[in-house]
Structure 1
Amino acid sequence: MDFLKRLFGDHDDLKKVTAETTRLQSDASDPTCSVWVSANAGTGKTHVLTMRVLRLLLAGTAPERILALTYTKAAAAEMSKRVFERLAAWVTMEDRALASALEELTGRAPSADEMRLARRLFAIAIETPGGLKVQTIHAFCERLLQRFSLEADVPPGFEILDDHEKAELLSEAMDEMLLAATAPENAKSPLAHAMACAVGYATERGFEELLGEALGHRDWLERAGGAARPDADLSVAEESYARALALPAGESHAAIEAAVEGLLTSQDLARIKSVLESGTKTDQSLASDALAVTRAAPGKMRFEAYCKLFLTQGGEPRKKLMTKALVDEYGALHEMFCRAQTAFVRIVERRCALQVYEASLALTRIAGFVMDRYRHLKAQRAALDFEDLVAKAAHLLERSDAVEWVLYKLDGGLDHILVDEAQDTAPLQWHVVRALAQEFFSGEGATQDKVRT
């Protein structure tokens, strides 16, 4: 209580804050308005959704025409529990207590018809075929696909893979990829090259972790052209990655390594070496690196020698190429040395971009192959995973030939959509919600003489 006093001031201030919060929650639960509620954790967002469901029912909305989507099964169970507890309590409340409860919920005194309806809502909700639809987005998509399996092009009576089963099938798909990549007949295939490239670029995070992340981008893998063939065409990915990394056409490691040849002449390097040898131990160490550049063969060896000269072990540009005494005495030479370092850093950035391009393309090819095999293994079992539920539902509602029929059937059964934890709803899940709601505001759905939110 002392904390609340320090936060809000005296008792009257606390009452004002409480009253304002209650008013805002009442506005947000108004069943005649479409609203978005943004608030911190623990401030009553789920409570507002529960109030909204109750007010919709009290306003005469049939339970089957309400869809409440939650982020987890636990949240769905909790919201259903809250709704049915309130409805059950209304059945046996004394008239005065019921009137007070309904007035607190709606902000006005209830009519006699509302009082009678409130006492019947528990039985109505219980007897509704299919029940009050408070469920996760995955549960909703599962029911949708079961109802329209033919239109969605999914196996009737499909099974849903749990996390363990999904991991087993993915592991099997990865094994098939490894067999294909190492098969003698595929030794010169793009898949074999991609495997060698990916393993070469893999860091301490591990190849499997990187592959797992890539497999999470299913839409991109499909658009990129990843397929089961070891030589699948990835031109879409190639163009996209090259554009994102600003790679010039025909960029190659050979061209990048050749670009360092004009940084410093042999005379420049000899002069730099001579000056550095006259300095401190730090200068003398760089003098050895300058000599190594002179002696290195053109190409990769000279590029690596320049890396040692101009960069730290961590790959960052050296902050000092000469100590202060040498800079003061050989200022012009130091400036030339620094210009060469700046030019080399730009060349290194070119090489980094090319490496990212090669690694990304290799990972895309490998992940595309694995995903295709995983898809084949699921088809053999007539199974879908949780990501498939949402993806297939979104495709059914947005892009399939049967979309008008499906939306018509659903449109006849939904008037209100509520989404809990909307900030955690993935883009593809929002595609499902958007497709469901679009009929509210277009065509016959927009002309019906009723409020739809």
Structure 2
Amino acid sequence: MSAGNTIRPLPVLKGEQLRASRPEAHVWLSASAGTGKTQVLAARVFRLLLRGVEPAAILCLTFTKAGAAEMAARVNRQLAAWVRMADTDLGADLIALGERPTPALVARARTLFAKVLDAPGGGLRIQTIHGFCQSLLAAFPIEAGLVPGFRPIEPREEALLRRQALSDLLIEAEREGRHAPVETIGRLSLRLGEQGAEQFLAECSRAGVALEALPAGIAPFIRRALDLPAGDIEAAVAAGCAALDDDAIGRIGAANRAWGTATGGGFADTIARWLTADEGARVAMLADLMNVVRTGKGDPRKASAKLIAAEPDYEALAAQLGEECAELLSLRVRAAYADLLGAALEVGRDYARGYEAAKRRAGAVDFDDLIGAAVALLQQEGIGEWIRYKLDQVTEHVLVDEAQDTNVAQWTIIRALVDEYFVGRGVYAPSVRTLFTVGDLKQAIFGFQGTDPLFFQAAERYFADKAQEVAGDELMPEDERGLPFDRLSLTDSFRSTAPVLEFVDAAIDTVGAAGLGAADAIPPHASRVAGPGEVALWPVIAAGAGEAEDAGEEGWIDDAVRDNAARIAKTVRRWLDDGLILESKGRALRPEDVMILVKRRGELAQLLVARLYAEGVPVAGVDRLRLS
């Protein structure tokens, strides 16, 4: 084998990595970033194949298409290398995996590449959860309520379709003389911003079934749900003002007059005007009346000794008046919120209908449709049981990557796939069927696709309880009982140096395990990477705190964003000019050594490219690099 085609030997699995790759147990693996979880996932696939498991019987579910492609490439590359590898090198790889390199096992390893290529579908089933749902629904489109030959749409086409559905909704409303939808979307845009309003409508389209279950008039329903009066809210506020105890208010005014200070005199004058005002004036003065007994922040004003001396019940009277005034003033705010929400949900329901119609016309489904239709299909009485039975016949091992990014609906699909794995081996003995799940609870806080740390933990408890139930069944022969359920953790990082991980641990200690959604303490991290490291936290740039300057064409961008982009670009320029030494590489920093990660591809990302160009720093631009 030429030097250019050499494959690096597999790293030796140790400790929890080795245990996690064992195919004789269900595994729930917690793996922090950089701890080699992809290596463990691939190792488990290799060990399954080495035990004679058919490639078609293995299903790997990943979070992204890029992750699925990278995983498939890694496995195929290694299997292809085993075909040509010297016996000693192949034996070393098997030992690294935790296997004994017998002549028979070495010979079997050399056949795996061809075996995988000959598998149905041309290889291992390494898919995203959406890809799996698509293949499942394609086999049963009528039963799933989909148009035969449906096609999934990518996010870009979905965004265009959503925009078209919104445009159609507004045009139709104007044509029919209905101004409410246009006005409601305008109010939503003012409150949430343009992107926020579009996101709200997108969420409505995902909750179409729930919106259809609401009554025809959603706004009155929302008012009732929030315990708000129907009809004119100002009339309700006026009635509340008329019901206030004038005698108690007068006693508060008299005490303030007796206080003898300018503040007390001002409060007494306010109360005097209130007591002589008509109904409309009292409504207008309600906030002034509350100001007598509460501060601008809404806190009760501290009663002085003179006030209490003048009126012994002053504190109780002031507290009661403050509560009543605050309740009446909040009626307006709550009613305005309820009315906007009700109107927005009504528009959202119309939008959801329009978006569904647009997808039907195009014969398209989005990612949410794939998940929802698959769940409904698997739970459908009669056909659902038969489909689960057919899936159970061909799938013996399920591996779930990035499990923290799995939401409730996706866990429902996984449960349908593997529930039978937890009823004992039975007729499958001595073969085994396993679930392998790897994720990082700390990353579940990002909330992708409606995920939550609670779902991740609930799934772990569910499968652990199922495994324990079967393992403890004394009526079942011991060799037919379920497999052990191993809870394992990888905390040794092969990516970050010790100082960086020490900062991470300190941050976790500050937030606390509960702040990350963890029920138990999060174990500390360790580093397998020698060398220095540093985490530098820069001071926050507040909006409006930057230097005043003519922003020109960038005037629409927040000054804090502009200042932050300039600060980052100048810092990189200074590193290059000062010849910052990378000790790990024994040379000075080069532009390609710097990676700038942003939360989203927004204003800051675009400005960074411009500022780096302005500083004379070569930059690859946005989205030129793909992170594995």
After superposition, residues 31-70 of structure 1 pair within 5 angstroms as 31-70=23-62
SS in 2 for 1:149: coil
Aligned to 2:416: 435
Q: Is the 8 Å Cα contact of residues 226 and 365 (structure 1) preserved in structure 2?
A: no
Aligned to 1:111: 102
Aligned to 1:393: 374
Aligned to 1:7: none
C-alpha displacement at 1:202, in angstroms? 6.7
Provide the TM-score with structure 1 as the length reference: 0.78
C-alpha displacement at 1:432, in angstroms? 1.7
Q: Is the 8 Å Cα contact of residues 272 and 333 (structure 1) preserved in structure 2?
A: no
Deviations, residues 179-229 of structure 1 (Å, cap 9, x unaligned): 455566657xxxx4x7766766775423762452353255643123169xx
Aligned to 1:412: 393
Output the amino acid matched with 2:393.
G
Aligned to 2:357: 376
SS in 1 for 2:60: strand
Aligned to 1:126: 117
C-alpha displacement at 1:163, in angstroms? 2.5
Q: Is the 8 Å Cα contact of residues 50 and 79 (structure 1) preserved in structure 2?
A: yes
Aligned to 1:29: 21
CA 1:223/1:331 → structure 2, altered by over 3 Å: closer, same or farther? same
Aligned to 1:11: none
After superposition, residues 186-335 of structure 1 pair within 5 angstroms as 192=180, 204-206=191-193, 209-210=196-197, 212-216=199-203, 218=205, 220-225=207-212, 233=216, 242=224, 245=226, 247=227, 253=233, 254-255=235-236, 257-265=238-246, 268-269=249-250, 272=253, 275=256, 280=261, 282-283=263-264, 286-287=267-268, 289-290=270-271, 293-294=274-275, 297-298=278-279, 302-310=282-290, 316-320=297-301, 326=307, 329-330=310-311, 332-333=313-314, 335=316
C-alpha displacement at 1:302, in angstroms? 3.6
Q: Is the 8 Å Cα contact of residues 142 and 389 (structure 1) preserved in structure 2?
A: yes
Aligned partners of 1:249 and 1:442: how far apart in 2?
54
Aligned partners of 1:393 and 1:426: how far apart in 2?
14
C-alpha displacement at 1:324, in angstroms? 6.8
Aligned partners of 1:26 and 1:161: how far apart in 2?
40
Deviations, residues 375-396 of structure 1 (Å, cap 9, x unaligned): 0011011111122122222222
Of Structure 1 and Structure 2, which has the larger fraction of its residues in strand? Answer: 2
Output the amino acid matched with 1:81.
A
C-alpha displacement at 1:86, in angstroms? 2.0
Output the amino acid matched with 1:215.
A
Deviations, residues 384-428 of structure 1 (Å, cap 9, x unaligned): 112212222222222365223322332222111111110011222
Deviations, residues 63-82 of structure 1 (Å, cap 9, x unaligned): 11111111112211221122
Confirm whether residue 423 of structure 1 aligns to residue 404 of structure 2. yes
CA 1:102/1:271 → structure 2, altered by over 3 Å: closer, same or farther? closer
Aligned partners of 2:189 and 2:258: how far apart in 1?
39
Q: Is the 8 Å Cα contact of residues 62 and 400 (structure 2) preserved in structure 1?
A: yes
Aligned to 2:157: 165
Which is worse superposed, 139-148 or 48-57? 139-148
After superposition, residues 63-142 of structure 1 pair within 5 angstroms as 63-106=55-98, 108-130=99-121, 131-142=123-134
Deviations, residues 120-145 of structure 1 (Å, cap 9, x unaligned): 11111122221211121122222222
Deviations, residues 301-359 of structure 1 (Å, cap 9, x unaligned): 64453234326999741442767765665554454223210233344556655554443
Which is worse superposed, 45-54 or 347-356? 347-356
Aligned to 2:428: 448
Task: Tell me the number of residue pairs that the alignment of Structure 1 and Structure 2 aligns.
Answer: 420
Aligned to 1:146: 138
Which is worse superposed, 78-87 or 274-283? 274-283
Q: Which of 166, 170, 173 is 1:178 aligned to?
A: 170
SS in 2 for 1:89: helix
Q: Is the 8 Å Cα contact of residues 240 and 328 (structure 2) preserved in structure 1?
A: yes
Q: Is the 8 Å Cα contact of residues 226 and 367 (structure 1) preserved in structure 2?
A: no
CA 1:341/1:411 → structure 2, altered by over 3 Å: closer, same or farther? same
Of Structure 1 and Structure 2, which has the larger fraction of its residues in helix? Answer: 1
RMSD, aligned CA: 3.8
Aligned partners of 1:252 and 1:22: how far apart in 2?
71
CA 1:196/1:282 → structure 2, altered by over 3 Å: closer, same or farther? farther
Aligned partners of 2:379 and 2:341: how far apart in 1?
30
CA 1:297/1:378 → structure 2, altered by over 3 Å: closer, same or farther? farther
Aligned partners of 1:159 and 1:105: how far apart in 2?
40
C-alpha displacement at 1:62, in angstroms? 0.9
Q: Is the 8 Å Cα contact of residues 28 and 48 (structure 1) preserved in structure 2?
A: yes
Aligned partners of 1:310 and 1:292: how far apart in 2?
14
C-alpha displacement at 1:440, in angstroms? 3.3
Aligned to 2:318: 337
Structure 1 segments (4+ residues) deviating >6 Å? 237-241, 248-252, 312-315, 321-324
* Structure 1 gap segments, 5+ residues each: 1-17
| Larger RCO of the pair (alpha carbons < 8 Å, separation 6+) | 1
SS in 2 for 1:157: coil
Q: Is the 8 Å Cα contact of residues 222 and 368 (structure 1) preserved in structure 2?
A: no
Q: Which of 343, 366, 380 is 1:362 aligned to?
A: 343
CA 1:316/1:115 → structure 2, altered by over 3 Å: closer, same or farther? same
SS in 2 for 1:417: strand
Output the amino acid matched with 1:221.
G
Aligned partners of 1:419 and 1:160: how far apart in 2?
22
Aligned to 2:490: none
Provide the TM-score with structure 2 as the length reference: 0.58
Q: Is the 8 Å Cα contact of residues 253 and 267 (structure 2) preserved in structure 1?
A: no
CA 1:302/1:120 → structure 2, altered by over 3 Å: closer, same or farther? farther
Deviations, residues 234-253 of structure 1 (Å, cap 9, x unaligned): 67x9779855x4x2786973
Output the amino acid matched with 1:233.
A
Q: Is the 8 Å Cα contact of residues 249 and 271 (structure 2) preserved in structure 1?
A: no
* Structure 2 gap segments, 5+ residues each: 1-10, 435-628
Q: Is the 8 Å Cα contact of residues 66 and 132 (structure 1) preserved in structure 2?
A: yes
Output the amino acid matched with 2:433.
R
Output the amino acid matched with 1:213.
F
CA 1:221/1:100 → structure 2, altered by over 3 Å: closer, same or farther? same
Q: Is the 8 Å Cα contact of residues 55 and 124 (structure 2) preserved in structure 1?
A: yes
CA 1:92/1:208 → structure 2, altered by over 3 Å: closer, same or farther? closer
Which is worse superposed, 288-297 or 209-218? 288-297
